[in-house]
Structure 1
Amino acid sequence: MAVLTAALVALSTISAVPAVAADPTPEGAGSYTTDQVGPAPEGCAPLATDARAFITDSAPAGAVPTNDWWSSLSFKKFDCSMSEPLHAHPVSYKPSPDGLGLSYTQQPTLYGTPGGIGEFHYPYSQDLVVGVAGLNASVAEVADWSDWTVTPSWSDGTRSMTATIGHGLPVTWFEMAGGDALLSGGSDLRVWLDDGARIGFSTGGADYVAFAPTGSSWTVSGSELRSDLSGKGYLSVAALPTTPADDDAARTAQADSYTPYAYVEVTGTRADYVYDEATSIVRTTYSLTTEAHEGTNTGTIVALYPHQDVYLEGSAGDGPGDGVAADRTYESARGTMTTLVGATSFTTGTPFTGVLPEVPSVATADGDANARLDALLDAEAGDPMSVDGADTYWTGKALGRAVRIVEIADQLDRTDVRDTALGQIEAVLTDWFTASPGETEQVFAYNENWGTLVGFPAAYGSDRELNDHHFHYGYFIVAAATLARFDPAWATDQEFGGMVDQLIADANNFDRTDLRYPYLRDFDIYAGHDWAAGHGAFVNGNNQESSSEGQNFANGLIQWGVATGDDATRDAGIYLYATQTAAIQQYWFDGSGAMPDAFGHSTVGMIWGSGGAYATWFSGEPEMIQGINTLPVTGGHLYLGLRPDDVAANYDELVAANNGDPTVWQDILWSYLALGDGDRALSALDADRNYPVEEGESRAHTYHWIANLAALGTVDTTVTANSPVAAVFTKNGERTYVASNITQSPLTVAFSDGTSLAVPVGKTVASGAHAWSGGGAPGGTEDPTDPTDPPDPPDPTDPPGDAETTFYLTAGGALVTDPGTTGTFVLGAREGPDAVGDPSTGLTATVEHVTGEFSGLGTAFDLGLDAESNVGNGTRLRVSYDLDGDGSFDRVESYRYFATDPVPGFERYTSANHALESSSGTLGDLTDGTIKVEIWNVIGNASSLLNLADSVVEVPFGPLTVS
């Protein structure tokens, strides 16, 4: 499929590159470029020069929405005429040349084997097609959109049609011209109601009613239904809730109850939010603009997702909003959807549970715990960022790592470490936020055609597909918020604050008047969570993997808004955070119990438009499947601990799926466990202090997080605060109240149970079961380190350890002890999980007649890999030791494969970030022995490059002699 996809893209895309470089656009002291310095968004050919190529002139002005449930209609990627299935819930849709296909799938389909189910979906399975008789449109375009609806449009020059579809709308509205309305069902179509304008029928296992204008009639011919619509040109089709097969009377009763609202067209939708600071509630009002084509009713039928229903305020006219809660439900990929009949609006009151820059140092501020943490901070003092990669994602991960070190070093008054990290953060952000003429690296570029700001080098399709901007930019924004506390001048609009606001606007522009970017690009307003793919062109709809990295973006907005005094940004972040918290608990962590029993999991790695998957894009390992929705570990992720018992059960599920304790990403997973059982997490950490560190983490932060949560206990959701940067914890019935002041003025925080905390500038204060106050004032100058001149990080290509124990790889298959090898080696496409194959597939390098004393350490390696633009490659290293040269390997070590990105440029595959996956035998002294190194692709259908110039393997023997 990957090869076919690449071929299709190559045939259907064109990249446009400006011929003349433009001067950078200033934004305060920062700037961005308008040059196309890297790949532009790619899709069907017309999109290269006109992102609105598949949008009609009647559509709203401004930047084209991307990353939505319906994006494959306008951002056509593979199907250049229609789109992929559009999973609106409860109905799914698929345009075709003759009209719009409808599907109401009520039972999940599970994929995998017994005991190994990996995915569940409510797939698009066409029940009927609604169109105009004779329609044969060459393309489906977008005529309109609103917050959660879209209007596809068809025309063949003689016949035309539009359809308004949306989340939570079981009634689809059609406008037609040039011929009769034609509904084509399956061979099982059965009519059970035909009384003039209305016709009720079952097909494909679902029940529908079509409502033609009053005075119309229907003609039934086999599986086709036809009406001239009395020449009025409009039609609605309602999908009905599930009814027993033999109960046509119930079907007719449902049709009767829907009839008063069947002629009400939904012409627009909008969600407006308000953050109630006093009660820490986000109230969101979902409004529908309607037009009645017959009768006087203005309401419609609305189906609510579980995350909305659980926080619905008022019903049946006794609260904000309107509509009557009906005893009708729909099945969907998100669980059961409840129904409001006759609604034009409804309001939810979703709790916001607070964020922190970091958990307080109540256990690690003194004593042995402090000494242990101090030593771990010493290990980070020279290079807190530990940069591994130059693109927006991996730069972001490095920034996130440094931010955590800033926070804990500040709490412990380690100003030397804190200010080194702050200096690195400022230097990196300032570099990225400043464009120079002709610059193509570490720069942001605005693409006016698409209304997007892309950072280059990009990663994971953030340029070509507009994927993951909220993931990448969240790290930058959190880092900027941290820097704003200590250097407020840097964060002003006159300096670099405007560039932070540009990143926010690109990923989730909350200003409807700003037409440079689409409104809330990555956030699905009705579904309540982000979508990751820009085009969403998959048979299962759009997808979202790391919900927690989406929350990192929302947390960044909250802290940036609070630190800079920007309430609009703060409130937008709180709205995103609170809404997504509700959705994540329901859909990623099965809070409503809606995941199919046969699925066998209570968590997913990915949400799709049509379902969910116990999977990731990059790994099938349970640790990463479950860990991807728990990183990064920050004080902005306390929402993960709102159900402590579920945290512990989720961790136990991981251990069961993994057939044992985690062997990779232990730090992430223990940190997650600490939100449910801190004592258990601390015991696990204490038992394995030499675990491999996840790329965005540090040993100092992991210990700080777990040790302090073990003392604090779990998040207490029964008490809220009037400040967004506050939280409450409870252990053994005793509460600890925590608040941080990241503003420039003293602060008093009031909690809902009457407790209050006075919090000085720059401090985090804890009171109650634990009393503690720590942190330095913003702009601290205790250390004279120049924040604009941080120490240089070590060269990541330097070979680890003693050169006498280091081997270099050669293309000829030899391991040599002298550096000097140049060039690259081509690793071919995957042939098998355990087969290196011939030299066109993998590299096998050996050295024989080696003698040396075993040092007692382990194998280490550092390889440079580049998959170029190839998607889905993963490379594994295996090292084998024949200790006595008898031809039999006494020790074989296989390391976890490295998932390369599809961005040109070498990445580092190291033993520090990829742990031993399996081993056999034991090590001892080498006596005339043999060492063999094998490197090959274990996943992917394309080749990768191995950089021979800086790829090294260090073996645990020395001094060595080779005879």
Structure 2
Amino acid sequence: MSTSRIKRTPFLTIVVALAVALAGFIAVTGAGSARGDVPPTPGWSLQWSDDFNGANRTLPSSADWQIDLGHAYPGGPGNWGTGEIQNFTNNPDNLSHDGNGNLRITPLRDGAGNWTSGRIETQRANFKAPAGGTLRIEGRIQMPNVTGQAALGYWPAFWALGAPYRGNFWNWPSIGEFDIMENVNGINSVWGVLHCGVNPGGPCNETSGIANNRACPGASCQSAFHTYRFEWDRSTSPNELRWYVDGQLFHSVAENRMDAGTWANMTNHAGYFILLNVAIGGAFPDALAGKTPTPATVPGRPMLVDYVAVWTKGAGDPTTPPPTDPPTTPPPSGSSQLYLRTGGGAGDAAGSAATVSLASAGGANYDGTPHNPQVFTSSGITRRYNGGSTQFDLFVDAGTTVANGQQVRVSYDRTGDGSWDRTETYHYFATDPVAGWEHYTQAKGLKSSTGALGDLTNGKVRIEVWNAIGGGSSTVGVGNQSVVRIPFD
């Protein structure tokens, strides 16, 4: 489920897959049967999981997941980079627990022909194979139970993107993408795909990626739950990526299939975040069946997700200690997505878009030193550090002013005692002299940092934004616009 590509599929695959799709039939969706737990996996250490045991029509846990909205990331490629047409929402009709142990993602069409659906991604973005060990990402999923003409345009996916994509949105595919399960048009087949390198072409043959597909074992992919698994193995030489359905290996890519630089760009970063979604239309479904969806496409057939879990094993395995009773740490509190707000606060997205002004630098140079900053603070945060790094996406505009540059500093008080245990100052962002929002992200890089990140216990995060250079004022978008994502579960 790529984010910035037009997927192409070899002609023979198109012909065969289309024949299978058009030979299908419309099936009736059942509630699905959940296991009731995440299965034990001897020899592996469970690092994270969600069994989706929430009450009917409740949203997935905000501590574990963030919900993607609309037709694109702010500042990212339109229609999520793939040409898909649905609007992602947080409406329980599109995205919610079903009360039977599953997450339910349901594409819907309104009377005007507009489609909506759901897409979520893990808060954590540091899922990575330990040095000398193996990462395992697994989900038990029933694809939307619809086939044939009624399924044209359905595009369910279970996948992972490299952490550097957050806040940048234009560095795909170099940061890596693992499509653990993709399916289109109700075909009885699962696709496993690797995206990497450059687009178009490159060692991963973009925009198609390095792919393989097969029919689901036993019952069809649409009519039953199946287990989809991805492994990243750093215990072998060369390293290897592997894809499984119901424990059966159907795709693998070895490190020596590409140049060392491409492999390093894909693997030598903080890790990956996991996504679940059902798209409608777009390049991949269209490649197999022409323009989709069609008037015959039937809405309302959900993808059901019983669980998603991440394990590791082998050298350097960051084994999660067993839970204690009672817990030794308090439950999480405070948001890990800090939207800047008017009035100097930061937290969950608040209301509609608004703006605040940054005072002019007056022609002086305040690079690295806050000068008349706008300050945003979030307090009372208790969360576990997940090993990642600070990410942000600030909406900034200097209008037609020439040579202005905005700068951000993020500080962490881990215990709320008034001392800043970690301070990060990022290189300033030189805005263009054209009116309109630009996106200032962590991709500009750290200018300096002090201290260390660690768990927050009733902690505080402070975000300072100012004009580092230039002779005019600037504007920052707040409310539901500029956001700082802190690396805490």
**TM-score, normalised with respect to structure 1:** 0.21
Structure number having the greater helix percentage: 1
| Greater RCO (Cα-Cα under 8 Å, separation 6 or more) | 2
**TM-score, normalised with respect to structure 2:** 0.35
